[in-house]
Amino acid sequence: MADTLLTIEGLTVSVEGKQILNGVDLAVGRGEVHAIMGPNGSGKSTLANALMGHPRYQVTGGTVRFKGEDILALSPDKRAQRGLFLAFQYPMSIPGVTMVNFLRQAMKAVRGEDVPVREFREKLFATMKLLKMDQEFARRYVNEGFSGGEKKRAEILQMGILDPDLAIMDETDSGLDIDALRTVAEGVNALTTPKLGVVLITHYQRLLNYIKPQFVHILYQGRIIESGGPELALQLEAEGYDPVIEKYAPALVAATGEKA
């Protein structure tokens, strides 16, 4: 791919001494939407956190190149400044800090220069409108007392304001009822541009009814065991994870020396 945004090769990651990712390969280009699916404990969130540079997730091998640059040695803020974004599964609350203050600082930090107040406000209110958020929301403290749906919308709002090149969404659908899910998905679709690459991490297929991926990957025991098109997600929805896991079990046993 000429315009490959993100290239992951042989990535292995440990958390507190326990290896979770056992060699992940993935390439994401601009304008592409990739879904990474897998059962609980397969390493989906580990992949998301390791890509963003969480200090507790130790990369023990492999490479991650983003826009041609090896980013593994960069701190999370530097990765964000390069255009990487992670929508958190469990966003943290920051008591006493208003959304508007936080977003302005974040926008300034990612751009590396001051943002004129007017420009910031226009962008903020336009994005909030897109996500059907009341303006009052900007005055609330970051994630403090937000409902599950509000938290997820606030993550997408941040994505809209920071305008990344690659957005990783970690279980953005979890904890949402169908209406909230639709609003969030519509927001993501509205923010999608030809320059943006998206990695959707999800356990369930239902999010993919609203955000259509061109590529679907199945992560199992720290490896991508199968990749395909949207039909793969539908197959999972119909049959569950068991058939595909069974299909790959012999290969896994061969690779790890233990039964899956």
Partner 1 sequence: MVAKITPEIAKQDGYKFGFNDNDRATYKYRTEKGLSEAVVREISSVKGEPQWMTDFRVKSYHHFLERPMPTGFWGGNIQNYELDFDDIYYFARASDRAEQDWSDVPEYIKDTFDKLGIPEAEKKSLIAGVGAQYDSEVVYHSIREDLEKLGVIFVDTDSAVRDYPEIVRQYFGTIVPPADNKFAALNSAVWSGGSFVYVPAGVKVDIPLQAYFRINKENMGQFERTLIIAEEGSYVHYVEGCTAPSYSSNALHSAVVEIIVKKGARVRYTTIQNWSTNVFNLVTKRAAAYEDAVMEWVDGNLGSRLTMKYPSVFLMGPHAHGEVLSLAMASDGQHQDAGAKMVHVAPDTTSTIISKSVSRGSGRTSYRGALKVHAGAARSKATVRCDALLIDQQSRSDTYPLMEVEEEQVNIGHEASVSRVGEEQLFYLQSRGLSEVDATKLIVNGFVEPIVKELPMEYAVELNRLIELQMEGAVG
Can you give the binding site for partner 1, defined by CB under 8 A?
52-56, 75-77, 79-81, 85-86, 88, 91-92, 94-97, 102, 105-106, 109-110, 141-142, 158, 162
Which of 159/225 has CB closer to partner 1?
A: 159
Q: Rounded distance, CA 33 to CA 192, Å? A: 9
Tokens found for residue 126: 């336009």
Which of 95/145 has CB closer to partner 1?
A: 95
Question: Minimum Å distance from CB 166 to partner 1?
Answer: 13
Question: Minimum Å distance from CB 156 to partner 1?
Answer: 13
Question: CA dist 146 to 79, 149, 152, 193, Å?
Answer: 27, 8, 9, 28
CA 18-22-28 angle, 5° bins: 125
Question: Minimum Å distance from CB 231 to partner 1?
Answer: 33
Which of 93/193 has CB closer to partner 1?
A: 93
Question: Minimum Å distance from CB 237 to partner 1?
Answer: 31
Question: Minimum Å distance from CB 76 to partner 1?
Answer: 4
Which of 94/249 has CB closer to partner 1?
A: 94
Which of 66/88 has CB closer to partner 1?
A: 88
